[in-house]
Amino acid sequence: MDHTYSSFKDEIYNAENEVTGLELHLPGKACHSYPFLPILESAWILSLNISISCGSSRNSVNSLPRLHFRDHIWTYTQRYFAAEAVEEAAAAMSKAEEGGAEEDGCADGMRLVQLLIAFAEAVACLADRLSLILPLGAVGFVAPMNIMDDASEKKEEALHLVYENCPHIQFGHFVANYTILEAFEGESSVHVVDLGMTLGLPHGHQWRGLIQSLANRAGQPVRRLRITSVGLCIERFQIIGDELENYATDLGINLEFSVVNKNLENLRPNDIKVYEGEVLVVNSILQLHCVVKESRGALNSVLQKIHELSPKVLVLVEQDSSHDGPFFLGRFMEALHYYSAIFDSLDSMLPKYDTRRAKMEQFYFAEEIKNIVSCEGLARVERHERLDQWRRRMSRSGFQAAPIKMMPQAKQWLHKNNVSKGYTIVEEKGCLVLGWNSKPIVAASCWKC
């Protein structure tokens, strides 16, 4: 495996020199904490060299082999998998002869190259964008990955696989439903405003759980449950709503489902119909980070509009990482560490050649990586921020923290759902953070007006 990785690394270096026609020099460092960082740094320098070459003339830009680097990525990916197959066959023979094999090194190498390929593809996207910049310094536009606005079957399937196999979204649904049930305790008329409907995840899994819990609770029954989804996928949301209404009817719950066909930036308080006497909560699962912009005003405006609705609670679940920095290299390195943890967690949950894993990596996580690394301006929608930054934002918009007191239930949920042992849940200043081997992945918080 070391020989394969070394060969892969050398060929990437050669590919870069072929594309740029320049000799690339890395900063003089004795060592790197991650063995693949020299390759990634070199790929970053490659993109800058291409952007510099763009300033001469349109003809010189067109003469650049912009897709050459991407072709190399594809070629060396295939070579890597072919070489790996040969080495695994040799390892199997060695294991049969010696009665043991060191698989940990192979697994680490496999995970390393998978992550490298995802980031190299992201840098290739950036190189393509930079190569079209005229004049030098202009900002290109690369279409972002947004599952809500993209009916791609592959991306939709990947989202569903992430929900089934990774605990990130299910953790958010569990914490949100527990908090919402507490807010609805003793109430007969309740209303949930769901921002984004969990990226349009089919079947409305979160609300099926809430409906069942409301149907089974002791005391005063729920006379009316209203769910209002906010987003542009009106047809998809309506299908989910019809399924939920039928499900609620079977359990004796009167559910009224409606859709506000607007994105969050254009949402107005009067778009949400609130009846007198009903208790309102707002639910946001992996959604509000898409509203964060360079100007910072867009998210503040959305939060202020939500505050005007006077919800009893706002449940916020977001990726806990700093992917919204203004500088490319900072985002690059932050994303590298964050997605290293996610790729590492996939190793513990699925075999490395499982097709489900390949689909999640390629059509979900890799798309997020490309958006974080290679997009700018309005095209960059994966603007994840750390929990402390969200606290400051919420406080400035008039919200007060409502501590989530369900740590025992959260740990029980981890055990009950057979979540991989590498996952942990910690409490941080009244919020719950799901992490992988101490690396934060997703944070859940609760806010009141």
Residues with pLDDT less than 50, the chain: 1-9, 11-69, 72, 76, 99-102, 130-151
β-pairing verdict for 313-319 and 224-230:
unpaired
Domain boundaries, the chain: 2-90+101-134+325-378, 163-324+384-448
Strands 400-401 and 279-285, bridge-based pairing: unpaired
Number of C-beta neighbours around residue 355 at 10 A: 10
Nearest of 141, 144, 73, 80 to residue 111 by alpha carbon: 80
Written in H, E and C, the secondary structure of 286-329 is CCHHHHCCCCCHHHHHHHHHHHHCCCCEEEEEEEECCCCCCCHH
Which residue type is seen at 77? T
122 alpha-carbon distance from chain centroid: 15
User: In Å, how far are 246, 311, 441 from 250, measured between CA atoms?
Assistant: 6, 28, 36
Query: Which structure tokens are listed for 229?
Result: 């989804």
d(CA 181, CA 63): 62
**Closest to 339 in 3D by CA, of 117, 56, 152:** 117
Tokens at 399, concatenated: 């919200």
- Give residue-wise pLDDT tens across range 29-44: 333 444 444 444 444 4
What are phi and psi for residue 275, nearest 5 degrees? -85, 150
Domain 163-324+384-448 has CATH 3.40.50.150: yes
Q: Would you state the pLDDT for residue 81?
A: 55
- Pair 411, 425: CB distance under 8 Å: yes
Return the closest-CA partner of residue 14 out of 52, 81, 68, 89. 68
DSSP state string for 329-354? HHHHHHHHHHHHHHHHHHHHHS-TT-
Q: Is 377 helix (H, G, I), strand (E, B) or coil?
A: helix
With 0-12 / 13-18 / 19 or more C-beta atoms within 10 angstroms meaning exposed / middle / buried, residue 89 is: exposed
Cβ atoms of 369 and 410 closer than 8 Å = no
Q: Is 262 exposed, middle or buried (0-12, 13-18, 19+ CB in 10 A)?
A: middle
- Written in H, E and C, the secondary structure of 183-228 is HCCCCCEEEEEEECHHHHCHHHHHHHHHHHHHHHCCCCCCCEEEEE
Q: What b-and-e string marks burial along 162-173, b requiring 16 or more CB atoms within 10 Å of the CB?
A: bbebbbbbbbbb
The pLDDT of residue 21 is: 36
Separation between Cα atoms, residue 427 and residue 57, nearest integer Å: 56
Q: Is the dihedral of CA 196, 199, 200, 205 positive or negative?
A: negative
> Given this model, what pLDDT does residue 344 score?
93
pLDDT of the residue at 202: 87
For residue 279, give the nearest of 214, 183, 213 by alpha carbon.
183
Query: Burial, 429: exposed, middle or buried (Cβ in 10 Å; 0-12, 13-18, 19+)?
Result: exposed
Closest by CA position to 214, among listed 223, 204, 205:
223
CA 285 to CA 132: how far, in whole Å?
Answer: 36
* pLDDT in the model for residue 92: 58
SS3 content of the chain, % helix, strand, coil (to 5): 55, 15, 30
Burial of 217 (0-12, 13-18, 19+ CB in 10 A): middle
